[in-house]
């Protein structure tokens, strides 16, 4: 005879599960609400109280008994069997248990310390962990019940590994539960990360960094990276995943800035290399947006990753591979542009064929959520970065630029088109490695100078990158992710033809910068540094 102990908070599906077990010859033990539900459906069930004694403290202490835990922790030896017989308990072979909704109570508006304590399960986690340690079949996720029933019907194949996988999941669930409690009671002075491997990588950033993998925290976020599906090509590498993450930051900030400013989101295309945008454009026509994105820096985009918020059909795919290409191969045919990946809401079969590369080297990755971006699409999960001996934690970058905010000071004339360009420049610059200068004109990124140690070099490099691509900077706008301490960097931008400069304020050199811009008839947009500074990936 095999015994299953069922004790669940959410009763949905428990009757069907118990009926399947009974049909397989199992005896059911239960108590409280679960027992009542089973009896009402004529499922034969043994009241745990007949074994461990009546519940005490208002039913708060039922399964916390030495007898029950002996039944879970006993080994399959003659000595342990004799000990169980002596205390009048039989071995429990399966535990199905879910927990009080602690995390939901913590998240509930109006929750209190007392209400959280009331929803903190003790018996459930203890029972689950005893079952896990005892090598029992332990089901802590209702989604595994059907799988367990099928496994039992199929003869319990590969029993050790099957039960070990259930144990690992149960321990993870308990770890998340306890971490939520620790975070709440410490007012987030205690925190941590728990995830499940969803995509192993051949290696990390370099070939000698193994093992490496993408882990998921299983959030409800529709834009979480584990919800992006490879529709063709190889699985993304570790570096590809990092590029996807950074592209998503940039694309969602572009969408959020536009949505907050105008109530609409344009078509967006961003090409990235090494985590930073090297091409970006917005507009109303897919092929036009792709062309502008590519020609922002047609050299840097080689081998890059591209993310768009619109479906990729054959025309879009052809623009990605052919737009601006003139170099010919040995056969006299114009070469196709090489890309490591394209990320979009969807792909047509013709687009997949056009974009495909030998060996699956162009990854085509889809997520339908990309076609419905709004100002609510920003990543709001805390940002955590490992450092030696621990980690840093901070809120995510969720600031959205609103040029009509009262804190923003606009000195000079600015057209509606230049305002739109500033939103694009801001979204790119504030999601690129600081220090950054981003230059935009007519909805197209002309240059993104990132990761420099001083702003003079950022300004100079931005101009150089734009000129290398053949761009005329006359009338363009420039974004700086922080203030200018001196006039040297803005002077470089103005000499290059920039007509609108956006930077934060808060430097002792602010007045000198304002005077320079006024004297050169350049519009200066300033935002208090404590509100609008855009450092990222420092």
The DSSP-derived string for 442-480 is TTEEEEEE-S-SSHHHHHHHHHHHHHHTT---TT-EEEE
**What Å distances lie between residue 314 and 184, 256, 293, 354, 356, CA to CA?**
51, 28, 17, 7, 12
Start-end ranges of CATH 3.40.140.20 in the chain?
A: 213-372, 401-532
Q: What is the pLDDT of residue 68?
A: 87
pLDDT tens profile 350-366: 999 999 998 899 999 99
pLDDT tens profile 237-280: 999 999 999 999 999 999 999 999 999 999 999 999 999 999 99
Q: What are phi and psi of 51, to 5 degrees?
A: -110, -40
Start-end ranges of CATH 3.40.50.1380 in the chain?
A: 2-185
Statement: residue 196 has pLDDT above 90: yes
Q: What is the pLDDT of residue 61?
A: 63
Q: Of the given ranges (72-76, 164-168, 411-415, 483-487), which has the lowest mean pLDDT?
A: 72-76
* Higher pLDDT among residues 116 and 75, named by residue: 116
Cβ neighbours, 10 Å, residue 323: 17
Q: Which long-range contacts (CB under 8 A, 24 or more apart) does 399-406 make?
A: 399/430, 399/531, 399/532, 399/534, 400/253, 400/256, 400/257, 400/260, 400/375, 401/257, 401/260, 401/261, 401/426, 401/427, 401/527, 401/532, 402/260, 402/261, 403/261, 403/525, 405/527
Distance between CA atoms of residues 35 and 33, nearest Å: 5
And the tokens for 390? 């621990």
Q: What does the pLDDT average to over 67-93? A: 88
Distance between CA atoms of residues 309 and 311, nearest Å: 7
Q: What does the pLDDT average to over 276-299? A: 97
Q: What are phi and psi of 129, to 5 degrees?
A: -70, -35
Distance between CA atoms of residues 281 and 433, nearest Å: 19
Q: Given its phi and psi angles, is residue 67 left (phi above 0), alpha (psi -120 to 50 degrees) or beta?
A: alpha
Rounded percentage of the chain residues whose pLDDT exceeds 70: 98
Question: By the 8 A CB rule, do 487 and 511 touch?
Answer: no
Statement: residue 60 has pLDDT above 90: no
CA angle, residues 254, 528, 478, in degrees to nearest 5? 45
pLDDT tens profile 110-141: 999 999 999 999 989 999 999 999 999 999 99
Distance between CA atoms of residues 465 and 481, nearest Å: 18
Statement: residue 52 has pLDDT above 80: no
**What Å distances lie between residue 279 and 206, 268, 432, 442, 466, CA to CA?**
25, 11, 12, 13, 11
Question: By the 8 A CB rule, do 99 and 127 touch?
Answer: no
How far is C-alpha 431 from the chain's CA centre?
Answer: 15
Q: What is the pLDDT of residue 33?
A: 86
CATH number for the segment(s) 2-185: 3.40.50.1380
Distance between CA atoms of residues 426 and 428, nearest Å: 5
CATH topology of domain 213-372: Cytidine Deaminase; domain 2 (3.40.140)
CATH superfamily placement of domain 401-532: AICAR transformylase, duplication domain (3.40.140.20)
């Amino acid at each position: 005879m095999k015994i299953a102990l069922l004790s669940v908070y959410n009763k949905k599906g428990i009757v069907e599960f118990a009926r399947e077990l009974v049909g397989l010859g199992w005896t059911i033990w239960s108590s409280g609400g679960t027992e009542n539900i089973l009896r009402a459906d004529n499922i034969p069930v043994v009241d745990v109280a007949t074994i461990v004694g009546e519940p005490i403290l208002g039913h708060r202490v039922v399964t916390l008994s030495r007898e029950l835990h002996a039944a879970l922790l006993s080994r399959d030896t003659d000595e342990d069997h004799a000990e169980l017989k002596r205390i009048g308990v039989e071995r429990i072979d399966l535990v199905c248990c879910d927990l009080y909704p602690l995390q939901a109570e913590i998240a509930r508006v109006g929750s209190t310390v007392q209400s959280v304590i009331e929803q903190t399960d003790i018996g459930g986690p203890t029972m689950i962990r005893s079952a896990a340690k005892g090598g029992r079949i332990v089901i802590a996720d209702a989604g595994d019940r059907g799988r367990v029933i099928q496994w039992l019907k199929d003869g319990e194949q590969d029993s050790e590994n099957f039960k070990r996988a259930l144990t690992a999941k149960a321990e993870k669930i308990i770890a998340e539960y306890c971490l939520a409690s620790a975070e709440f009671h410490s007012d987030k002075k205690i925190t941590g990360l728990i995830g499940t491997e969803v995509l192993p990588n051949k290696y990390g950033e370099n070939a000698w960094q193994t093992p490496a993998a993408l882990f998921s925290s299983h959030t409800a976020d529709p834009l979480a990276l584990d919800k992006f599906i490879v529709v063709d090509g190889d699985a993304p590498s570790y570096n590809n995943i990092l590029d996807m993450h950074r592209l998503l930051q940039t694309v969602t900030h572009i969408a959020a800035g536009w949505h907050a400013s105008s109530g609409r989101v344009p078509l967006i295309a961003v090409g990235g290399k090494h985590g930073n945008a090297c091409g970006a454009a917005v507009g109303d026509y897919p092929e036009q947006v792709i062309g502008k994105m590519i020609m922002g820096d047609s050299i840097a985009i080689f081998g890059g990753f591209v993310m768009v918020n619109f479906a990729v059909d054959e025309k879009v795919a052809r623009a990605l591979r052919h737009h601006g290409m003139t170099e010919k191969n040995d056969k006299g045919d114009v070469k196709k542009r090489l890309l490591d990946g394209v990320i979009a809401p969807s792909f047509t079969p013709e687009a997949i064929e056009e974009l495909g590369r030998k060996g699956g080297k162009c990854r085509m990755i889809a997520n339908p959520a990309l076609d419905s971006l709004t100002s609510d699409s920003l990543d709001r999960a805390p940002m955590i970065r490992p450092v030696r001996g621990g980690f840093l934690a901070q809120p995510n970058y969720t600031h959205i630029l609103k040029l009509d905010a009262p804190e923003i000071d606009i000195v000079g004339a600015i057209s509606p088109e230049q305002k739109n360009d500033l939103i694009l420049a801001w979204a790119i610059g504030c999601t690129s490695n600081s220090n950054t200068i981003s230059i935009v004109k007519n909805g197209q990124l002309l240059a993104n100078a990132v990761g420099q140690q001083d702003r003079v070099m950022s300004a100079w490099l931005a101009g150089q990158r734009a000129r290398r691509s053949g761009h005329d900077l006359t009338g363009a706008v420039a974004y700086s992710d922080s203030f200018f301490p001196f006039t040297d960097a803005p002077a470089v931008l103005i000499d290059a033809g920039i007509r609108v400069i956006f930077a934060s304020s808060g430097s002792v050199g602010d007045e000198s910068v304002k005077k320079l811009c006024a004297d050169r008839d350049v519009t200066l947009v300033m935002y208090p540094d404590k509100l609008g500074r855009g450092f990222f990936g420092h």
